[in-house]
Amino acid sequence: MTAVPEIAFSDFQIKRNNTAHHTNETGDSRLFVRRGQPFFITVHFKARGFQPGQDNVIFLVETGPWPDESAGTKAIFPLSKALNKTMWSAALENNGSNSTVLIIHSPHTAIIGQYQLKMQISSGTKTTNYNLGTFMLLFNPWCADDDVFMANETDRQEYIMNDYGFVYQGNHNWISPCPWNFGQFEDDIVDISLKILDKNLNYIQDAFKDLACRNNPVYISRVICAMINSNDDNGVLQGNWSGDYTGGVSPSAWNGSVLILRQWFKSDCQPVKYGQCWVFAAIMCTVMRSLGIPTRVVTNFDSAHDTDQNLLIDEYYDLTGNKLNKEKKDSIWNFHVWCECWMARRDLPPGYGGWQVLDPTPQEASNGTAEERKVFEKALSRLHKGGPMIPNSNRNENENINRANETSANGITPSPGGSSGYTPRNQDPNLNRPLREALLLLKFKLTESPQLGDTISLVLLAGNLISTAKTLKLSLSAQALKHDGKPAQQFWKDSVYVELRPHEEKILLFKIPYAKYGPFLEDNNLIRFIAIGEQSITWEKVLVEKDVNLALPTVAINFLGPAAVDRPCKVEISFSNPINEEIRDCQVLVQGSGLLKKQVKLNMGTMKPGQKAVVSFEVVPCKVGYKQLQVNISSNRFNGLKGFKSVVVKP
């Protein structure tokens, strides 16, 4: 009777396969392969090897708790003479006396996830089954038939392989790069990403159907988008725009996605506290890249949040220039961050594939939950009706005289209770008044860009544009703004009367010291200055505003020696207290995929005004190539002081 070949062990050729599938950054302990591309396995036998004419081999791959062929979560296929790239198939690469090298090919439409690979060998009437092991199957931007195929290698390196980058913040006049550790190749991130999929509401309600849809990047994108925030489910991150982050972490203090994802996973999938738009988007970018979907983080400045979708943003001010918090939720965010993912759209007419806009920040309900409405970039240029968040291209603040005219007397509320004489914007004839009819010019200008701790020097230009003299009352004020446009407490106001001869311009200088504005700042260090000009005879009012971002001091980061794999290298960080008062609870947080296994936390205690602090620590790089170290410094007076240092790690 013929004996069945007995398997001694199997070798998944992890280093060879992971390199070929562009997943070698995840390490060499597990197999990560991409669909639509072959991978190789060596099977070693005990007594005798595989004999093609005598032995029959059948393979089985399965994923999920209830594998089923009809759902695509299970496939049974024989060892063939040639591969069939449209389905799961296997062939011989070479066959020796005691070992066989097999080629396994997955279809480009395969479901992503963790798979079991089993092998059945039969000879004559005897059959033996073996569990060869597990592997991860991901989307494949290198496969021309995959829906996430991206033709340009430079783009693939940026939107799949780059594990660090920048998220841009600030406003359109002051754009600030925030370094971010995406860390999609950390050894547990794919597992966490799959866990996120398993926690989504669709899986809970119908796991069989949910798993069957996991070959579709459109479906995966929508599920991940909903699961990044904690609205309606046990998503990854809880949003908080209140300014009070008790019981959690300030959104400005995060350096990267890895720590957040691990905390969510280790806490039995309880939402991590807290995040805002850039944190939501950066985490989604990490998850999508880890699964193989090309993704980028996009910042839109002066983002109009139009809750009732009438394409108007209504802002309310009292006569002192104080911006009011009204029940109406319209707002203009100084920046908003979302994700764009690259994929084909077979569910839409031709031409709509490519970058798809997905916004994981919970804002307006969509499809019955807080999952944001998905729109695609090409359609943005065709929209005749806006969505919840639209680029506010018409907002030009004090640089546009017509902007000042639009905020006319009818748009200024005399008291927080409102004005019964308010005229709706679309019925106000002043809104369409040509620019040449403007009677008055008001314009703000900074004498220099201020840094946190500086005295802010602000110039207001007042100009009479007609041939009649004017007496003008100027009411000025300032208040901190949250990055979503919501005002904080007014901390400064002043008023002056100005006489303007025909066509005369006057310049007024105002100085606001740190002691006046410092205690009121939000994490984003953004201040809005308002000036209301009121004529003494006609009572016509003009409003101008200027948003000022206070720059934070530079963080100096230096590697005190060459960076090489498995060799300790000392790093030095230094910065100075920028404000004229003592700061307490100074803390430095450091991350960097490939440089540090976990976050480094350094406590620096108290710093006197102007004091320079220097701290050092050691990194032991574990991966070669370009790497980035991200640093965040916080204290009782400020958060989100960022720094970064790029370095090339040698073998």
Residues carrying an active site annotation: 277, 336, 359
If one counts every other C-beta atom within 10 angstroms of the C-beta of residue 433, the result is 15
Distance of alpha carbon 118 from alpha carbon 135, whole angstroms? 11
**How many residues are recorded in the chain?**
651
416 neighbors 516 (Cβ within 8 angstroms): no
Letter for the amino acid at 36? G
Letter for the amino acid at 110? A
- Mapping DSSP to helix (H, G, I), strand (E, B) and coil, where does residue 11 land? strand
* Strand pairing category for 126-138 and 32-34: parallel
Secondary structure letter of residue 554 according to DSSP: P
Integer distance in angstroms from the first to the last C-alpha of the chain?
Answer: 54
Distance of alpha carbon 129 from alpha carbon 118, whole angstroms? 7
Which residue, 475, 442, 474, is CA-closest to 461?
442
Q: Report residue 368 as tokens.
A: 């019955």
150 neighbors 342 (Cβ within 8 angstroms): yes
Which residue, 43, 44, 42, 20, is CA-closest to 32?
20
Is the peptide bond prior to 168 cis by the omega test (within 30 degrees of 0)?
A: no
Coarse DSSP helix, strand, coil percentages of the chain, rounded to the nearest 5 percent: 15, 40, 40
Distance of alpha carbon 612 from alpha carbon 575, whole angstroms? 6
Distance of alpha carbon 575 from alpha carbon 555, whole angstroms? 5
Read off φ and ψ for residue 437, nearest 5 degrees.
-90, 0
CA angle 52, 54, 58 (to 5 degrees): 65
Tokens 């081999």 -> residue: 57
Which residue, 194, 116, 161, is CA-closest to 24?
161
